[in-house]
Chains A and B, each alone.
Chain A
Amino acid sequence: MVLIYIDQADQEVKKASLEAISYGAALAKQMGTNAEAIILGTVKEDLSQLGKYGVTKVHQVANDSLNHFDARVNATVTAEAVKLAGADVIVFAHNTNGKAIAPAVAVKLNAGIVTGASALPKTDNGFVVTKTVFSGKAFASIKIDTPIKVITINQNSFGTQSTEGTATLETLAVSVPTSSIKITSVNKVQGEIPLTEATLVVSGGRGLKGPENWGVLLDLAKALGASTACSRPVSDSDWRPHHEHVGQTGYQIAPNLYIAIGISGAIQHLAGVNRSKTIVVINKDPEAPFFKAADYGVVGDAFEVVPALTAAILKSKASA
């Protein structure tokens, strides 16, 4: 059986987990077995609806204290729950919480683990998982040699598929250790889609010359309904908040569309965005290395090109 860990925050199922279910369900089909899910804590959603993404059963450890994430506690409870539910493969989203507990769960189950998988495993001869390595500059195919396997799946690498179906619910009785981590404050950026979940991203670099010039970029993002990002020099200069920094040492993202404005495309920046499905580069320097990694390029002054693009998008939306 393939078991998918459902991550939750504020008692809502994380979007990344729906993709993990789609991935786990496809893997189960490939292996001729069924897919089930496990969730810790309680959520507002009707969990039977997760059947739409391909799981037949949802195991729940319905203890409210698990609604606050504590890696040590969650890993312990997850490993115990997996032992009760039984599983050959456990799938996590490669998001903040998934990364924090999947390796610990692997230790507790004596399982081999591959984190950051980018495709379904090959299961015809052993169990071989392809993952991104060298910050997206290469792939490695890694064989897991243990009976139980753990995988975390890169966000936006597989996609979420939904059909018909409902899942049955089963409550698991697992003793929950008391957390010794006390959460004292939570700061969420209100009303914005987290960069790692965004499907459309507009990003700016030093070419925009200063924080006062960000208006053209924000207008474009608003017209598209896109999240905003920036390069490292921009966040280092405090032109934009640190949580917008994408690149090797910032967020690594994989949106459907990444529009880079005034970013030259240093290798460290590309490492954070090269998994984007489509890349548009707007830069006045035709020699900017980013054009080599782009699908579409516009050589021109950002302060003329970007407003024109915004207008074209609004026009297209108005006529749709």
Chain B
Amino acid sequence: MKVLVCISKTPDTTAKIAFTEGNTKFDENGVQWIINPYDEWYSLVRAIELKEKDANVIIHLVTVGAADAEPIIRKALALGGDEAIRVNNSSSDSMVVAQEIAAIAKEGAYDLILTGKETIDYNSASIGSMLCALLDQNYIAAATKLEIDGTKAIVTREIDGGEETAESNLPIIVSCQKGMAEQRIPNMRGIMAARTKPLKVVEASIQTATTSIQQFDLPAAKSGVKLIDPTQMDELVKLLKEEAKVI
């Protein structure tokens, strides 16, 4: 079975969010980069678990980004995976990214494509769904469990207010979230092995973006907390009713 895991580079979860060039660009100054947590903790680790159960599983990683994404993809290789592909396209338009991944997916004829349920920078949650249309394959979003049984995938996904389990033949695209697997830390052996794993660079083939970012803004600062004495809960209820008007 061939698995393609989509990897995105994102700022660390605690990174300070600031913008430059007249609020048109994310300020990368001093930012630590990580593998998008949904891609790493859930989809990549789940793929590695599948390989640990079945040595015939082959894991390829793909990222769409400039050369500065390579440390991230090497770190992913240190966790596991057989080889990686970087598509040299720095577009932030999901449609462009999805088309680049679709081209790689078509060439590799994968049985299973895993993505994170969203990235923590642009929060688009779009790549899996776009691949579904571009590849005309089954897609299950926001999955919390995934088992492979021969040529069949058994997937549990989040629905509003609960969970739903479904079966589908391979190939399938699954976007992964919490529940799928537990975070791992790369060990020294993995880090050493990652240095010699193949990392292929493919030139960009899609240039036409459908969207463009005009401007970033930070949320208005809160006007400041109003402290209420712990013995004055009637006062808090009154404020929630009459000032905030939320109860």
List the interface of chain A (C-beta within 8 A of B): 9, 14, 16, 69-72, 75, 95-97, 99-108, 110-116, 128, 130-146, 180-189, 192-194, 196-197, 199-200, 224, 242-243, 245, 248-250, 256-257, 267-268, 271, 274, 277-278, 280-281, 291-301, 304-305, 308-309, 311-313, 315-316
User: Which residue of A116, A257, A308 contacts B231 across the interface (Cβ within 8 Å)?
Assistant: A308
Q: Assuming the A-B contacts A71-B141, A188-B162, are A311 and B126 also in contact, with contact meaning beta carbons closer than 8 angstroms in the complex?
A: no
In angstroms, Cα B225 to Cα A296, docked, is: 5
In angstroms, Cα B125 to Cα A265, docked, is: 25
In angstroms, Cα B221 to Cα A314, docked, is: 33
Whether the pair B17, A137 counts as a contact (CB closer than 8 A) is yes
Contacts of B225 in A (CB 8 A): 281, 291-292, 294-297
Can you identify 22 A-B contacts, CB atoms within 8 angstroms? A14-B160, A99-B141, A107-B98, A115-B124, A116-B123, A132-B123, A133-B122, A134-B120, A137-B218, A141-B213, A182-B167, A186-B159, A186-B165, A257-B246, A292-B222, A296-B225, A296-B244, A297-B225, A298-B230, A305-B233, A311-B233, A315-B237
Closest Cβ of chain B to A158, distance in Å, is 17
The interface-forming segment of B63-71, B74-82, B129-137 is B129-137
User: Which residue of A181, A243, A278 contacts B140 across the interface (Cβ within 8 Å)?
Assistant: A181
Whether the pair A115, B125 counts as a contact (CB closer than 8 A) is yes
Whether the pair B233, A309 counts as a contact (CB closer than 8 A) is yes
In angstroms, Cα B217 to Cα A128, docked, is: 14
In angstroms, Cα B15 to Cα A138, docked, is: 12
In angstroms, Cα B41 to Cα A102, docked, is: 25
The interface-forming segment of B52-60, B103-111, B204-212 is B204-212
User: Which of B136, B166, B233, B238 is packed against the most chain A CB atoms within 10 Å?
Assistant: B233
Q: Assuming the A-B contacts A145-B211, A294-B225, are A103 and B94 also in contact, with contact meaning beta carbons closer than 8 angstroms in the complex?
A: yes
**Residue B151 lies at the interface, judged by CB distance under 8 Å to chain A:** no
Contacts of B209 in A (CB 8 A): 145
